[in-house]
Structure formats: C-alpha cells, structure tokens
Amino acid sequence: MQNFGTMRILVTLTLLASVVAATPKTHAQNIRQYQLEPGPNGLALVVKEIAQPSPGANEVLVRVRAVSLNRRDVSILDRGVANGLVPTSDGAGEVISIGPGVTQFAVGDRVAGTFFADWSGGRRTREAMATARGGGIDGMLTEMIVSHEAGLVTIPDYLSFEEAATLPCAAVTAWRALFTEGNLQPGDTVLLEGTGGVSIFGLQLASAAGANPIITSSSDTKLERAKLLGATGTVNYRTNPEWQEDVLNLTEGVGVDHVLEVGGQQTLHRAIEALAFDGHVAIIGGLSGRADAIPLGPLPEGGSVTDIFVGSREDFEAMNEFLIEHQLRPVIDRIFPFEEAPAAYAYMTSNSHLGKIVITL
Ligand SMILES: NC(=O)c1ccc[n+]([C@@H]2O[C@H](COP(=O)([O-])OP(=O)(O)OC[C@H]3O[C@@H](n4cnc5c(N)ncnc54)[C@H](OP(=O)(O)O)[C@@H]3O)[C@@H](O)[C@H]2O)c1
C-alpha cells in the first residue's frame, strides 16, 4: 500500500512538473533589474529577473521610469566588492501601490528616492549613512522598488522623470554644500571644478541665487556651454595647470567665497589658494584621487572646511522648492535605454559629458 501511495505522489509530481513545463512563462509578475556580479575587471552589470516586490506597512511600490548615473556608480564597479547589489542611487518614477499605514503618497504620485533611504533630516548618523542606495542597500537600476515612504520625495510637476532622476545625489550634494553648510548669499563667488553632475548643479543653483559662479574645465567647448548656464568666469585647467591664479585674477585677488571641491588630490590645495577670507570649502569628491590631507597652511584665516555626504530628505525638499521657484531644469547630456546601461557607464568613464547621464526604464 505504501508503495502505491509513493507511486501516486510521484506520478502526480511528474504530471505537475510537465504541466508547469508546458505552461508558457508569462513573466507577468517578474521585473527586470541590474545586479552587480564579478566580471573580468571588478564587477559587471548583469540583468536579472526577480519576482515583483510588494509593499509592506508604511512602504510604497514605485515603478522606476528613469535613473541617473553618478561617478560613485562607476567607482563601485571598479572596487568590485558589492556582489549581487542593485546599483545606482538615483531614480524617479510613479507610485503604483501603497502598503498599510502610508500617509504621504497615493497611487499615481510622481516621486524620487532619497539618496539615503533613512536620513530624514538633522545630524547625520553612521546608521543613516549605511542606507545609501546603490551602496549600503540596493539601488534604483530596477523596474520597481519598494521603499519606506520616508525614503521618497514628491518631484516637481514641471520636471520629466528623466530630469527628476538627476536630483537625488548630485543636485542635493551641491545644494547642501552651498546652502545648508555654506550659507550662500547673493553676490558671493563660487568655484566649480569641471563640468560633471555636481559642478553643473552647483553652477545653476549659485547662478539662480544671484551668486557669481566661476567654473573650470579641460574643454573650452564645455566652458562656452557653462557660460550659457550662468558662469561669470571660466578657466581651462588643462591649458592652465596653475588655474588657481586665474581664479584669483577673476576675483581681483579677493578669492572665492565657496568651493565645491570635487577634484581631490590635484585640486584641493589649489582651491584653498583661491579661497577668500572666511570662505567655505565643501569637500565632496576625488576625481583625481582622494586628497589625503587638507593643507591648513594656505587656508585663509576664518576659512572653513566641511565634509559633505550628499544630504537628507529635508535638504532634498528644500532644494525642490528652490527649483520650482526658479524653474531650474537639470542639464541632461545623454539618455540611454535600460538595455544599454553598460554603455551609459562607459560614457561616464570617458568624461565626454556635461551635466548628467540618464537611463530610462
Ligand atoms: N561627497 C558626496 O556627497 C559626493 C556626492 C556626489 C559626488 N561626489 C564625488 O564628487 C566627484 C564628482 O562627481 P560627479 O558625479 O559630479 O562626477 P562626473 O559627472 O563624472 O564629473 C566628471 C567631470 O569632472 C571633471 N574632472 C575630472 N577630473 C578633474 C580634475 N582633476 N579637475 C577638475 N575637474 C575634473 C571633468 O570635467 P571637464 O570635462 O569639464 O574637464 C569630468 O568630465 C566624484 O569624485 C564623486 O564621487 C561626492
């Protein structure tokens, strides 16, 4: 009897298996996303299909429509440590369902993820810093995300998903550096290094606030474009390796009141030489390698240096109000389809862009 029972179970299982095999795979409840896997040089981007996630209490399900790249996303690939991680911090999309207890969002709302899934405002903590999307936790290069509602902001109506997807990292970083930490005032001078994402947002924000942005670039063509975006002074750092002297000249020897220091090793000491009395240096990046020391010698009396790590949801929301007031539009250099995400990464590595690189989903 026992044998017959076992046989019946086996036959049933075999029949079930053949039914499953014969049923066409609809993928209706699957979504596509990129994950990082070991590749020939560090990590590679690999498309995976996973089951569609669903929101729990206080969570929101977002259909991601666009993602933007930051230099950090390229660096994470090179470092090769984040196996299985969904990459990229920045994305925007629409709410397609909400979990119980959600009060701030409804189906159909247009939202962006905050860079840190869990830094609403106030002082930063180690715990909050560990929730950086596309680094500490999974990121946005996926057709859908589930996020706690506190990790989302409403995006300005006049911006497309592509434009809004550029905001969470680069724009919020520039905002925090200039306004939250730098207390930017009309008439101040601001030094921007290069024409990448953070610097171009810094240029647009400073210009809209009535400040005087001075920008450097390796390309005269890019400097011409920067003038159209509001740069009042430009310097080619390739043809003028001691470009800080040109920056000082442009300020009649006074120096700049703010620096968005994204260059690192090759730029920090030069930027400090170009700093005005009581100027503020926002330490942001290491495009030429991370600077391993701040040269206090040339730091003018009264100058200050702040380490920036993007910003909070509070910063993001304050910035959005400013964007709406001034109707600022992010500068998108190029848009790639989801399938060509690796090409978008390669394009960033080439440094051909001015402003932001976007991937649509
Ligand atoms: N701490 C934070 O919160 C934070 C947030 C965002 C970004 N970051 C960091 O800030 C840096 C910029 O990020 P991003 O996303 O804006 O980069 P990005 O868009 O890739 O910027 C690339 C541009 O930077 C310029 N550049 C490269 N090397 C330079 C140098 N030695 N001196 C001056 N400019 C140089 C070049 O501009 P030209 O072609 O015009 O020469 C290049 O096209 C990165 O190191 C990033 O990791 C930090």
Atom of ligand 1 nearest to the CA of 265: 31
Confidence of residue 80 (pLDDT cuts 50, 70, 90): low
Query: Considering the domain boundaries, does residue 9 fall inside one?
Result: no
CA–CA distance, 36 with 203 (Å, rounded to integer): 33
Residues 219 and 213: beta-carbon distance below 8 Å: no
Domain CATH for 201: 3.40.50.720
Residues 199 and 296 in one domain: yes
Beta strands in 143-211 (DSSP E): 144-148, 152-154, 189-193
pLDDT at 21 over 80: no
Residues 126 and 81 in one domain: yes
Query: Considering the domain boundaries, does residue 174 fall inside one?
Result: no
Query: Count of domains in the chain?
Result: 2
Residues 289 and 222 in one domain: yes
Residues 230 and 118 in one domain: no
Pocket perturbation via mutation, ligand 1, pick of 69, 70, 283 by most ligand atoms within 8 A of CB: 70
CA–CA distance, 144 with 121 (Å, rounded to integer): 25
Confidence of residue 266 (pLDDT cuts 50, 70, 90): very high
Query: Considering the domain boundaries, does residue 142 fall inside one?
Result: yes
Averaged pLDDT, 151-159: 98
pLDDT at 284 over 50: yes
Residues 131 and 225 in one domain: no
248: exposed, middle or buried (C-beta count within 10 Å: 0-12, 13-18, 19+)? middle
In this prediction, residue 10 carries a pLDDT of 35
Closest Cα to residue 108, out of 53, 49, 151, 65? 65
Atom of ligand 1 nearest to the CA of 310: 3
Residues 241 and 286 in one domain: yes
pLDDT at 68 over 60: yes
Q: Whose CA is closest to atom 6 on ligand 1? A: 170
Atom of ligand 1 nearest to the CA of 309: 3
Q: Which two structure tokens, joined as six digits, stand for 112?
A: 């962006």
Q: Mean of the per-residue pLDDT values for the chain?
A: 92
Q: Whose CA is closest to atom 10 on ligand 1? A: 285
Atom of ligand 1 nearest to the CA of 197: 16
Q: Whose CA is closest to atom 28 on ligand 1? A: 287
Atom of ligand 1 nearest to the CA of 70: 15
Q: Whose CA is closest to atom 19 on ligand 1? A: 196
Query: Considering the domain boundaries, does residue 13 fall inside one?
Result: no
Report pLDDT digits (tens) over 41-52: 788 999 999 999
CA–CA distance, 131 with 119 (Å, rounded to integer): 8
Half-sphere exposure of 280 (CA within 13 A, CB side): 20
Residues 216 and 299 in one domain: yes
Query: Considering the domain boundaries, does residue 176 fall inside one?
Result: no
Query: Ligand 1 pocket by C-beta < 6 Å: which residues?
Result: 70-72, 169-170, 173, 193-198, 216-219, 222, 237, 262-263, 266-267, 284-288, 308-310, 348, 351
In this prediction, residue 1 carries a pLDDT of 33
Residues 77 and 105 in one domain: yes
CA–CA distance, 67 with 80 (Å, rounded to integer): 21
Report pLDDT digits (tens) over 92-125: 999 999 999 999 999 999 999 999 999 999 999 9
Range of the domain at 257: 182-307
Report pLDDT digits (tens) over 339-353: 999 999 999 999 999
Query: Considering the domain boundaries, does residue 38 fall inside one?
Result: yes
Cα(52) to centroid of ligand 1, in Å?
35
Residues 268 and 328 in one domain: no
In this prediction, residue 45 carries a pLDDT of 95
Query: Considering the domain boundaries, does residue 22 fall inside one?
Result: no
CA–CA distance, 138 with 34 (Å, rounded to integer): 10
Averaged pLDDT, 274-288: 96
Cα(193) to centroid of ligand 1, in Å?
8
Q: How many CB atoms lie within 10 A of CB 54?
A: 12
Q: Whose CA is closest to atom 43 on ligand 1? A: 351
With H, G, I as helix, E, B as strand and everything else as coil, classify residue 66. Answer: strand
In this prediction, residue 297 carries a pLDDT of 81
Residues 52 and 159 in one domain: yes
Percent of the residues in the chain that have a pLDDT greater than 70, as a whole number: 91
In this prediction, residue 17 carries a pLDDT of 36
CA dihedral 123, 125, 127, 128 (to 10 degrees): 40
With H, G, I as helix, E, B as strand and everything else as coil, classify residue 208. Answer: helix
CA–CA distance, 359 with 361 (Å, rounded to integer): 7
Query: Considering the domain boundaries, does residue 131 fall inside one?
Result: yes
Residues 161 and 243 in one domain: no
Domain CATH for 39: 3.90.180.10
Beta strands in 180-288 (DSSP E): 189-193, 212-217, 233-236, 256-261, 275-283
CA–CA distance, 268 with 83 (Å, rounded to integer): 33
Cα(348) to centroid of ligand 1, in Å?
10
**Whether the model pTM is above 0.85:** yes
Atom of ligand 1 nearest to the CA of 222: 40
Q: Whose CA is closest to atom 13 on ligand 1? A: 71
Q: Which two structure tokens, joined as six digits, stand for 104?
A: 């701030």
Residues 55 and 161 in one domain: yes
Averaged pLDDT, 71-82: 84
